[in-house]
Amino acid sequence: MKKIIIGDHIRKTFGEGQEKHTVLKDVSVEMNEGEFVAIMGPSGSGKSTLMYALSGMDSIDAGTVSFDGMELSAMSEQSLAELRRTKMGFVFQQPTLLKNLNILDNIILPSMRNHRTSVDNIKKKARALMKKVGISELEKRDITQVSGGQLQRAGICRALISNPQILFGDEPTGALNSKSAQEIMDIIAEINAQGTAVLLVTHDPKIAARTDRVLFMRDGEIVNDLHFNRSTDTSIDVKIEKLMVAMRKIGV
Amino acid sequence: MYYKIIRNDIAKSKLISLTTMIFVAVAAMLVALSAILVVNLSSALDTLMKQAKTPHFMQMHIGDIDTARLREFATQNSDVEDFQVLEFLNIDGAQIIIGNRSFASNVQDNGFSIQSEKFDYLLDLDGKIINATDGELYVPLRYMKENDIKVGDKATISGKPFTVAGFLRDSQMNSMLSSSKRFLISKNDYAAIQSSGRIEYLIEFRLQDLSSLSAFETAYATAGLEANGPTITYPLFKMLNALTDGLMIAIILVVSLFVVAIAFMCVRFTLLAKIEEDYREIGVMKAIGLPVADIKKIYLAKYAAIAAIGSIIGFILSLLLKGMLLENIRLYMGESGDSFFALLFGVCGIVFVFLAMLAYVNGVLKRFRKISAAEAIRFGISQQQKINTKRFCLSSNRLFNTNIFLGIKDVLARKKLYATMLIVLVMAAFIIIVPLNLYNTISSNNFIKYMGIGNYDMRIDVQQTENIANKTEQILDAIHHDSSIAKHTVLTTKTFKAKMEDGTEQNIKIELGDHSIFPIEYSTGRAPASQHEIALSALNADELKKKIGDSMTLIIAGKEQNFTISGIYSDITNGGKTAKAMFTDHSANIMWSVFCLKFSDKALIRDRMAAYASHFPYAKVSAIHDYVIQTFGSTIDAVGKASRTAIAVALFIAILVTMLFMKMLVAKDRYAIAVMKALGFTNADITVQYAARSLFVLIISIVIGTLLANTLGGLLAGAVISSFGASSFTFSVNPIAAYLLCPLLMACSVLLATILSTSGAGKIKISDNIKE
């Protein structure tokens, strides 16, 4: 299987002098194409920082990160931006839509940056995505006129508009009620099933249980790398049970 | 607690706090200066008019005078406190030479007087009554600077030598706007030169009580006494004296209003941004039960601190600068006695700026009342902001590049926020374009047409000589044989009697000839086109109370003839009282004649000037260009300097305010910028978006600013221009400068300011702003 991300001895510190705090301590991690991975761990364990480092949105102090064979630290600001625009999709805890634009405009925004395809094709694609996540009727709405769950769906459409190789999610269901959260996870699982790799940060075992593999972090280190067995770990309850055991073992 | 909040807040936004403070300081300084100047001006003026004992009523008269009858009237009238008749010996400018300079081209009526015995004294620079001894000449203050005259300079008046002994303050004729100037000489010298000029009489009265002035005026008019010249009263003297400095004070006030407005805009902008930033906190404070007044205080306190410091700095600056601006008032009117009162008034001005600032901040903070606590806490932004995302959609945008679209869209979506920047840039455009158009107008060749002079190259004046008619014929003959002349006309001026409505007669000088060859600009109407039409200068029309279409009666060769007024024009020549007609007359004597010539090749002017001057020594040959330079040169220079200063100031304001706004916007939009970057927009994209915002606002500003400049600005400039003679005018605009170069200059400045101030956007880290 081809590796989409290889993180090698990543080190990241915040602050200076006395207040210096190492958030990632020599972390190495790899992720395959099409893989569905969650990062779990208590607050402050470095899980979000790891995800931002792996996506190139945050710089690192030591080590390397390569994405699809390219080393991120060697890339210019422009190439990194292009990478984010064409090969990566991002979903955040808050929907992060721009309030000047309506829902449809927000969704097509990344592919409008340098649209090589015609606007009509981009719109067609956006409408198909909106239909898929169930927000077809909202395209002309302002972002203040729809619910949080609907906004997050719009956020997912935006992340997928450029057919990314990987979707990064920083607690994408964190601000939603459990029904909406499950619906969003259904959508993400479907995207993954179609071949897009997914890397999620989450607190919630129920969310993590939807993935193939869970990285447990504590104090800036990966302390457990749990792979679910596709043939035996078929039900969510079994997967949650496994997760709980692992969490107890590492003391979280 | 407030101190801590204020200190932290100011430290956090140093640039914006400093800028706001600078604008407040400048505004406070200007307001204080104008307050100080107003008090000084009125006080110095009062002092001058008291020391000089300015007449309350003055009637000018030329010709026979019955002094006994006037004295009789004065003793009979119980309102009169004192009465006198002074002589004003009007001498042609060509007969006055001071230093090495002739007053030939001087446009004022220059007269010589002896010191008055009872009132209307001519004062020295210490406010003392001057006693001129034989050979001494005291020169009107106005000429000291204008003609660069020094004490000790040699002077020749009608051939008699004098020495400049000093300068005089004349409470009647000090002003640039007054068309006559009085020189003071001794009685003996006066007697010696008396025959070389024409005597005008100043019939002057002081009244017991100024409030009976209008009753006295009526009494004088009904008594049928000497009155063939203008009548001037005390209030008019006062106004004439105050006008020049008053105009300066008015300009300072207008500028200070602009600066106050800009300061307000800065405050509004920062405050709105701050409220938006603190929306959630404000909601929380409301939710936990803090009264709105208390929340307001936190914000008010910061601006009170900024306004207070700014006002104090402004006051100190005004004290440092006032000496410079008071120089003129001190020179022409003397010291004012009320310096304490002036200072007090200045402080009042400062307090006014301070309070206005607080009231304004308070007004902006009114929106606190509207903030719903629940909404603020839940959403963190105002839900009332109706953002119109419907009309201008990215999905239907085919016109603009996405970055430019996003820039324009942001401006349209947050109009209120950008309104501030818009207003400031409109003002900047206005400040650039109005002085530029004004400069262009008065420096253009056509401007003299507004001043009663046609657009020709050279003029030959034949005056103050014998047998003018013959000499005119000689010159005309030479002109007819001169092939270098493209166009010419000869205008002869004669005096006629005009019959007034009350049956009295008044002398009027009329310039006869073809006025269509070198046309001038008429305020209203047009040049006389038939034998029965006449055009009047604005001053004459005012005095004779005539409008376009009215008729007037002239006595020509002993017969009454009716004329229709065809046009009214501004004129600065011959004291402004002229008339133009084209009828032929052989009855009256020619007072002077003027040849107006235009050459086929302008390079010939100097050469031909010399030729005509040597050929006709009795004629005065002058190039119009020289005339313009002499009369308006300093004004054109001053306006040009003012225009360049205005451009620099406006560009500075535009750059400063743009930088300020853009810096604030970047800080405010951190989150949106981080999102954009996460979506794959580069730093260059973000810069283009911000540049699109400021350029879009700038384009609208320039359009509005230009429209305002051509309407409101035209009126303002008209006021300035009319103060030196032209009663109506239209801007002559240089389209390349006004509509291309200046907008381009502004665009470059604003663009540069935007790029410089949005460079911070590149440093915004995605993870710092999005990561939960």
Contact assessment for residue A202 and residue A40, using Cβ atoms and an 8 Å cutoff: yes
Strand-by-strand arrangement of the A21-32 sheet: A21-32, A3-14, A62-67, A70-71
Q: Where are the alpha helices (DSSP H) in B288-414?
A: 292-333, 339-364, 373-379, 402-413
Q: CA–CA separation, B668 vs B761, rounded Å?
A: 11
| Least confident range of A229-233, B383-387, B546-550, B714-718 | B383-387
Q: Inform me whether the pLDDT recorded for B405 exceeds 70.
A: yes
Residue carrying the six token digits 């022409």: B332
For residue A73 the two structure tokens come to: 């630290």
The total of other beta-carbon atoms located within 10 Å of residue B664's CB is: 22
Q: CA–CA separation, A114 vs B451, rounded Å?
A: 61
Q: Which residues of A68-90 are buried (b: 16+ CB within 10 A; e: fewer)?
A: eeeebeeeeeeebbbbbbbbbbb
**Residue B662, min C-alpha distance to chain A (Å):** 18
Task: Give the residue-averaged pLDDT of B310-335.
Answer: 86
Q: Inform me whether the pLDDT recorded for B325 exceeds 60.
A: yes
pLDDT at B213 (0 to 100)? 87
Same domain as A79, residue A200: yes
A110 touches chain B (CB under 8 A): yes
Amino acid at A200: L
More confident residue, B541 or A215: A215
Residue carrying the six token digits 């692992």: A246
Q: Do A78 and B685 touch (CB under 8 A)?
A: no
pLDDT digits (tens, 9 = 90+) for A60-101: 999 999 999 999 988 998 899 889 988 999 998 887 888 888
By Cβ distance, the residue of B389, B682, B683 closest to A142 is B389
DSSP B517: S
More confident residue, B618 or A242: A242
Interface mutation target, options A83, A100, A143, chain B, most CBs of B under 10 Å: A100
Residue B459: CA atoms inside 13 Å, Cβ hemisphere, count?
A: 21
Phi, psi of B100 (to 5 degrees): -115, 15
Same domain as A244, residue A135: no
Same domain as A83, residue A7: yes
Same domain as A122, residue A81: no
Q: Where are the alpha helices (DSSP H) in B444-550?
A: 468-480, 538-544
Same domain as A244, residue A177: yes
Q: Do A93 and B772 touch (CB under 8 A)?
A: yes
Q: Do A81 and B681 touch (CB under 8 A)?
A: yes
Predicted confidence band at B572 (pLDDT cuts at 50, 70, 90)?
low
Predicted confidence band at B727 (pLDDT cuts at 50, 70, 90)?
low
Q: Averaging pLDDT over each range in A226-230, B53-57, B260-264, B663-667, which range is the top one?
A: B53-57
Q: How, if at all, do strands B579-581 and B505-512 pair?
A: parallel
Q: CA–CA separation, A169 vs B343, rounded Å?
A: 68
Contacts of B670 in chain A (CB under 8 A): none
Closest CA to B146 of B333, B334, B330, B328: B328
Query: Looking at the domain assignment, is residue A10 inside a domain?
Result: yes
* Residue where a domain stops, chosen among A163, A179, A210: A163
A221 touches chain B (CB under 8 A): no
**Residue B696, min C-alpha distance to chain A (Å):** 17
pLDDT at A73 (0 to 100)? 86
Same domain as A18, residue A140: no
| Least confident range of A205-209, A210-214, B390-394 | B390-394
pLDDT at B575 (0 to 100)? 53
pLDDT at B364 (0 to 100)? 86
Q: Do A81 and B680 touch (CB under 8 A)?
A: yes
**Residue B418, min C-alpha distance to chain A (Å):** 14
Task: Give the residue-averaged pLDDT of B672-698.
Answer: 92
Same domain as A175, residue A53: yes
By Cβ distance, the residue of B394, B765, B766 closest to A112 is B394
Closest CA to B90 of B244, B7, B199, B186: B199
Residue carrying the six token digits 């480092």: A53
Q: Do B679 and A158 touch (CB under 8 A)?
A: yes
For residue B585 the two structure tokens come to: 């007359």
Query: Looking at the domain assignment, is residue A151 inside a domain?
Result: yes
Query: Looking at the domain assignment, is residue A94 inside a domain?
Result: no
Residue B376: C-alpha distances to residues A170, B367, B368, B373, B671 (Å)? 25, 13, 11, 5, 18
Contacts of A96 in chain B (CB under 8 A): 671, 675, 678, 770
Q: CA–CA separation, B142 vs B179, rounded Å?
A: 12
Predicted confidence band at A234 (pLDDT cuts at 50, 70, 90)?
confident
**Residue A164, min C-alpha distance to chain B (Å):** 12
Interface mutation target, options B389, B399, B417, chain A, most CBs of A under 10 Å: B389
**Residue A80, min C-alpha distance to chain B (Å):** 8
By Cβ distance, the residue of B395, B672, B677 closest to A105 is B395
A146 touches chain B (CB under 8 A): no
First and final C-alpha spacing in chain B: 31
pLDDT at B164 (0 to 100)? 95
**Residue B727, min C-alpha distance to chain A (Å):** 52
Range of the domain at A109: 99-163
Rg (CA), chain B: 33
Residue B178: C-alpha distances to residues B181, B239, B286, B329 (Å)? 8, 11, 66, 17
Q: Do B684 and A92 touch (CB under 8 A)?
A: no
Task: Give the residue-averaged pLDDT of A96-108.
Answer: 89
Query: Looking at the domain assignment, is residue A92 inside a domain?
Result: no
Q: Do A113 and B677 touch (CB under 8 A)?
A: no
Residue of B nearest to A158 (CA): B679
Q: Do B772 and A84 touch (CB under 8 A)?
A: no
Task: Give the residue-averaged pLDDT of B306-329.
Answer: 88
Residue of A nearest to B681 (CA): A81
Q: Inform me whether the pLDDT recorded for B725 exceeds 60.
A: no
Closest CA to B625 of B447, B464, B475, B489: B447
Task: Give the residue-averaged pLDDT of B248-268.
Answer: 78
By Cβ distance, the residue of B413, B762, B772 closest to A171 is B772
Predicted confidence band at B663 (pLDDT cuts at 50, 70, 90)?
confident
Q: How, if at all, do strands B57-62 and B231-233 pair?
A: antiparallel
Task: Give the residue-averaged pLDDT of A34-53.
Answer: 92
Amino acid at B34: S
Q: Do A113 and B765 touch (CB under 8 A)?
A: no
Predicted confidence band at B145 (pLDDT cuts at 50, 70, 90)?
confident
* Residue where a domain stops, chosen among A146, A163, A180: A163
Closest CA to B370 of B383, B387, B360: B383
By Cβ distance, the residue of A90, A100, A123 closest to B389 is A100
Q: CA–CA separation, A46 vs B347, rounded Å?
A: 61
| Least confident range of A211-220, B73-82, B431-440, B594-603 | B431-440
Residue of B nearest to A118 (CA): B398
pLDDT digits (tens, 9 = 90+) for B628-638: 776 666 667 77
Contact assessment for residue B295 and residue B284, using Cβ atoms and an 8 Å cutoff: no
Q: Do A100 and B410 touch (CB under 8 A)?
A: yes
Q: Inform me whether the pLDDT recorded for B88 exceeds 90.
A: yes
Instruction: Determine if the pTM surpasses 0.80.
Output: no
By Cβ distance, the residue of A57, A109, A113 closest to B767 is A57
Q: Do A115 and B402 touch (CB under 8 A)?
A: yes
Closest CA to B535 of B516, B545, B522: B522
Query: For chain B, what is the mean pLDDT?
Result: 84
Residue B375: C-alpha distances to residues A102, A161, B222, B372, B663 (Å)? 21, 32, 80, 5, 28
Predicted confidence band at B176 (pLDDT cuts at 50, 70, 90)?
low
Contact assessment for residue B715 and residue B658, using Cβ atoms and an 8 Å cutoff: no
pLDDT at B379 (0 to 100)? 61
Same domain as A134, residue A178: no
pLDDT at A201 (0 to 100)? 94
Q: Inform me whether the pLDDT recorded for B115 exceeds 70.
A: yes
Q: Do B679 and A109 touch (CB under 8 A)?
A: yes
pLDDT at B225 (0 to 100)? 87
Cβ within 8 Å of residue A17, ≥6 positions away: none
| CATH of residue A229 | 3.40.50.300
Same domain as A27, residue A120: no
Query: Looking at the domain assignment, is residue A194 inside a domain?
Result: yes
Q: CA–CA separation, B286 vs B272, rounded Å?
A: 18
Q: Do B680 and A85 touch (CB under 8 A)?
A: yes
Q: Do B680 and A84 touch (CB under 8 A)?
A: yes
Contacts of B387 in chain A (CB under 8 A): 99-100, 142, 144
Cβ within 8 Å of residue B112, ≥6 positions away: B88, B89, B91, B157, B182, B183, B184, B185, B190, B193, B197
Q: Inform me whether the pLDDT recorded for B626 exceeds 80.
A: no
CB pairs A-B closer than 8 Å: 104
Predicted confidence band at B390 (pLDDT cuts at 50, 70, 90)?
low
Q: Inform me whether the pLDDT recorded for B306 exceeds 60.
A: yes
Q: Inform me whether the pLDDT recorded for B476 exceeds 70.
A: yes
Indicate if the alpha-carbon torsion angle A79, A81, A87, A92 is positive or negative.
positive
* Residue where a domain stops, chosen among A163, A186, A206: A163
A152 touches chain B (CB under 8 A): no
Predicted confidence band at B308 (pLDDT cuts at 50, 70, 90)?
very high
A75 touches chain B (CB under 8 A): no
Query: Looking at the domain assignment, is residue A93 inside a domain?
Result: no
Contact assessment for residue B468 and residue B190, using Cβ atoms and an 8 Å cutoff: no
Residue of A nearest to B395 (CA): A105
Same domain as A198, residue A178: yes
By Cβ distance, the residue of A88, A92, A100 closest to B409 is A100
Q: CA–CA separation, B445 vs B434, rounded Å?
A: 19
For residue B155 the two structure tokens come to: 């002077």
First and final C-alpha spacing in chain A: 32
Query: Looking at the domain assignment, is residue A63 inside a domain?
Result: yes
Predicted confidence band at B641 (pLDDT cuts at 50, 70, 90)?
confident
- Give the three-state DSSP class for B636: helix
More confident residue, B204 or B501: B204
Q: Inform me whether the pLDDT recorded for B389 exceeds 60.
A: no
Longest distance between any two alpha carbons in chain A, whole Å: 55
Same domain as A139, residue A36: no
For residue B242 the two structure tokens come to: 């105050």
Contacts of B771 in chain A (CB under 8 A): 48-49, 52, 170
Task: Give the residue-averaged pLDDT of B208-218.
Answer: 87
Q: CA–CA separation, B266 vs B420, rounded Å?
A: 7
pLDDT at A215 (0 to 100)? 95
Q: Inform me whether the pLDDT recorded for B384 exceeds 70.
A: no
By Cβ distance, the residue of B394, B410, B672 closest to A105 is B394
Amino acid at B524: T
Question: Crossing angle of helices B292-333/B234-277, nearest 10°?
Answer: 150
Cβ within 8 Å of residue B486, ≥6 positions away: B598, B599, B600
Interface mutation target, options A76, A108, A113, A138, chain B, most CBs of B under 10 Å: A113
| Least confident range of B25-34, B489-498, B518-527, B727-736 | B727-736
How many domains does one find in chain A? 2
pLDDT digits (tens, 9 = 90+) for A128-137: 999 988 898 9
pLDDT at B499 (0 to 100)? 84
Q: Inform me whether the pLDDT recorded for B33 exceeds 90.
A: no
**Residue B684, min C-alpha distance to chain A (Å):** 9
pLDDT at B2 (0 to 100)? 65
Q: Do A113 and B672 touch (CB under 8 A)?
A: no
pLDDT at A200 (0 to 100)? 94
Contacts of A75 in chain B (CB under 8 A): none
Contact assessment for residue A173 and residue A204, using Cβ atoms and an 8 Å cutoff: yes
pLDDT digits (tens, 9 = 90+) for A157-193: 999 898 899 999 998 888 788 888 888 899 899 999 9
By Cβ distance, the residue of B381, B390, B671 closest to A140 is B390
A155 touches chain B (CB under 8 A): no
Same domain as A201, residue A158: no
pLDDT at A250 (0 to 100)? 79
Predicted confidence band at B257 (pLDDT cuts at 50, 70, 90)?
confident
Q: Inform me whether the pLDDT recorded for A216 exceeds 90.
A: yes
Residue B464: C-alpha distances to residues B91, B453, B619, B695, B728 (Å)? 11, 21, 9, 63, 33
Residue of B nearest to A172 (CA): B772
